[in-house]
Amino acid sequence: MASFSVGEAATAGFGLVGRRPLAVVGWAVALVAALIVPAILCVLAMGPAFAQIIQLAMSQKGGEPSPEMMQGMLQAQSGMTAFNLLYWLWSSFVRAVFCAAVFRAVLTPERSAWAYLRVGSRELWLTLLLLVEQVLAMIAIFVIALVVALIVAIVAVGGGESGHLAAIATAVGGCVVAGGVILWVALRLSMAAPMTFVDDQFRLFESWSLTKGQGWRLLGVALLLVIFVLGLEILVGGVVVGLLLAGGGSLTALHGTGAIETFMARPPLEILRDVWPWLTALGVVGALFSAIVQAVFFAPWAVIHRALTRET
């Protein structure tokens, strides 16, 4: 039976970052252009409405929200609904492009032009795969949550005096079992993305046969990736805190009573002009962190796919 090394697969992303640092920098720049710029445009477009809501919220003296505040919140929410849908589609496409870039860097390292970034059929198939996976995951979670809630309700009603304790135990046990099932299915389908990339066709359930007998090894890789990403988050969090502490004295406009209300009452362009140095610094750190995480997370699955298919 084909197999793979858990340690080699889990650390493949760090090896890729070490071998191709310029590609990682290119990914960071592309991430800024692809995700942060649209977000800034949204802030500029929706900024006045949100600033008005914040001002109304801060002016509340307690009790029920004012009609003006409720109306403003409804308008902002309706405006964000369409944006959220478009941003979900766009972010899935961007994630697919970077997923393909990492796969390309691992499987065909000689094709290094444009930091391995392409927009073609492979990226479109991966986008479709990501969208389908997200929708199926939401449906599965909803159904499982509904089943667990129904079982808990039955236990609570039929448990008599100790029904609440039995319901709590059932809920905890149900969540653990459901989480385990979801994780097992996700691991069995983990080869769908590299299979879709390599075959240049939509692949999902075909991953089931390829990962047969590899569950524990895949789980080991997944656990190591969680540890690695948490370690990176702690490291980046320390850098961000250091930046904020280093620049804390420069944002004197936010000090004092009522300073935040006054600051938020200004036009969005003026606010952006004052905070852009900090947004830039945080953006650089965040973009590099995101690019490294992309490599750390996606590279192992390409390595696993190569190992499993090489011997079959």
| CA atoms in the 13 A half-sphere facing the CB of 125 | 17
Among candidates 58, 49, 55, 51, which has minimal Cα distance to 76?
Answer: 49
Among 116-125, 219-228, 246-255, 284-293, the minimum mean pLDDT is found in: 246-255
Structure tokens belonging to residue 219: 């789980």
* Long-range contacts (CB closer than 8 Å, 24 or more residues apart) made by 214-220: 214/3, 214/4, 214/304, 214/308, 215/184, 215/187, 215/188, 217/3, 217/4, 217/6, 218/187, 218/188, 218/190, 218/304, 219/183, 219/187, 220/6, 220/10
Q: Specify the length of the chain in residues.
A: 312
Average pLDDT, integer, range 220-224: 96
Instruction: Give residue 53's pLDDT.
Output: 58
At 51, the pLDDT band (50, 70, 90 cuts) reads low
Instruction: Give residue 247's pLDDT.
Output: 58
Among 28-32, 50-54, 189-193, 194-198, the minimum mean pLDDT is found in: 50-54
Residue 65 Cα distances to 62, 220, 245, 262, 287, angstroms = 8, 50, 35, 21, 38
- Convert the pLDDT of each residue in 59-101 to its tens digit: 555 555 556 556 656 665 665 677 778 888 988 999 999 999 9
Are residues 243 and 282 in contact, defined by beta-carbon separation less than 8 angstroms?
A: yes
Among candidates 44, 49, 76, 40, which has minimal Cα distance to 269?
Answer: 44
- Convert the pLDDT of each residue in 119-159 to its tens digit: 999 999 999 999 999 999 999 999 998 998 898 888 877 76
Mean pLDDT of the chain: 82
Instruction: Give residue 146's pLDDT.
Output: 92
Are residues 289 and 232 in contact, defined by beta-carbon separation less than 8 angstroms?
A: yes
Which residues are CB-neighbours of 192 under 8 A, at least 6 positions away? 129, 133, 203, 204, 205, 206, 207
At 240, the pLDDT band (50, 70, 90 cuts) reads confident
Q: How many CB atoms neighbour CB 142 within 10 A?
A: 10
